[in-house]
Structure 1
Amino acid sequence: MPDTATLDALDRQILALYQRDTRVPSEQIGAQVGLSAAAVQRRLKRLRETGVIVAETAVLDCRQLGLGVTAIVEVDLHDESARAMRAFRDTVLARAEVQQCYGVTGPVDYVLVVIVPDLAAYEAFCEACLLHDANVRGYTTQIVLEAALRGGPLAIPKG
């Protein structure tokens, strides 16, 4: 995988535009960065092959899909060995409700972003994944009232 030093200014400009909307035609991106459509396509292909572009996905509206509750869950584990943490991570990553999972420093071990239809579905998730896991010391939940920004574009560092 390339480090940021191997990305030139054109790569960075292309990525800044492309991550906002992958449906923008290469011709339009090329016009903004001063390249032909073919050159933009070659660079995008290289960025995919080298792992800079990991995936190209659709951003969906949770509420329109009936997913009205987003919970941020901080989880504290008893056993913080690599094996135990991997087992916990594998368990929660197998659940479709878990949209993000971060191993973190500080007073807790993991922070999860869980998206479910309603509070009853969140309770069912907790029952299945957290309450009966002997390694879970405790967890706290914040229910999101406003999703002011969900997965916005990255600020790409200058080269």
Structure 2
Amino acid sequence: MNLDRIDRSILNILQRDDRISNQNLAEKVGLSPPACLRRVRRLRDEGIIMAEVALIDPRLVGRYINVIVEVEMVRDQLDIYEAFKRKMNSAPEVTQCYQVTGEVDFMLILMVEDMESYETFTRKYLSTDANLSKFRTLISLRRDKFSTAIPL
């Protein structure tokens, strides 16, 4: 879909504050409220706006450790990759899973309460996987930047 300047403006505003009223959004982008609402509905219907969610501070809900895990599979095989992706989709600790190019096959981002929780995760999901060659853990000391916004 081609996005015009107004669509991009709407999306940029909604990425910062999805709770803005349609009236205020319309004023900011220079449209009438009905025209603005039609555009937002179209952006939702066409799947450009995938979801509207609340972003939660992980520390305030007990998720103190952000873990990055590099995963290497035993061989390049589609069924092995698909099985691993299904397993990661079912793991609540995994907030992001990327199949990547290069020396490793997957990059995982996890949010856990403590190192014991991470150890439990590795035993359940990684150490027992016969198709996994090795994994490497990187513990984040702090999060200096975090955004879900896509630059438009």
TM-score bracket, shorter-length normalisation: over 0.9
- C-alpha deviations, 1:68-127, integer Å up to 9, x for none? 111000000013211110000100110111000000000000000011110000000000
Partner of 1:133: 129
- Residue identity in the other structure for 1:32: K
Written as runs of structure 1 = structure 2, the 5 A alignment for 1:39-78 is 39-78=35-74
Secondary structure (helix, strand or coil) at the match of 2:31 reads coil
- Residue identity in the other structure for 1:104: V
Secondary structure (helix, strand or coil) at the match of 1:19 reads helix
| Partner Cα distance (1:151, 1:56) in 2 | 15
Partner of 2:113: 117
Secondary structure (helix, strand or coil) at the match of 1:27 reads helix
Contact 1:79 1:85 in 2 (8 A): no
Identical-pair percentage? 38
Give the number of equivalent residue pairs: 152
1:39 is displaced (CA, Å) by 1.5
Q: Which has the larger displacement, 146-155 or 15-24?
A: 146-155
| Partner Cα distance (1:77, 1:20) in 2 | 38
Gaps of 5+ in 2: none
Q: TM-score, normalised by structure 1?
A: 0.92
| Partner Cα distance (1:60, 1:8) in 2 | 31
What is the alpha-carbon root mean square deviation over aligned residues? 0.9
Secondary structure (helix, strand or coil) at the match of 2:109 reads strand
| Partner Cα distance (1:133, 1:84) in 2 | 10
Gaps of 5+ in 1: none
Instruction: Say which of 3, 17, 22 aligns to 1:7.
Output: 3
1:21 is displaced (CA, Å) by 1.0
1:9 is displaced (CA, Å) by 1.0
1:149 is displaced (CA, Å) by 2.1
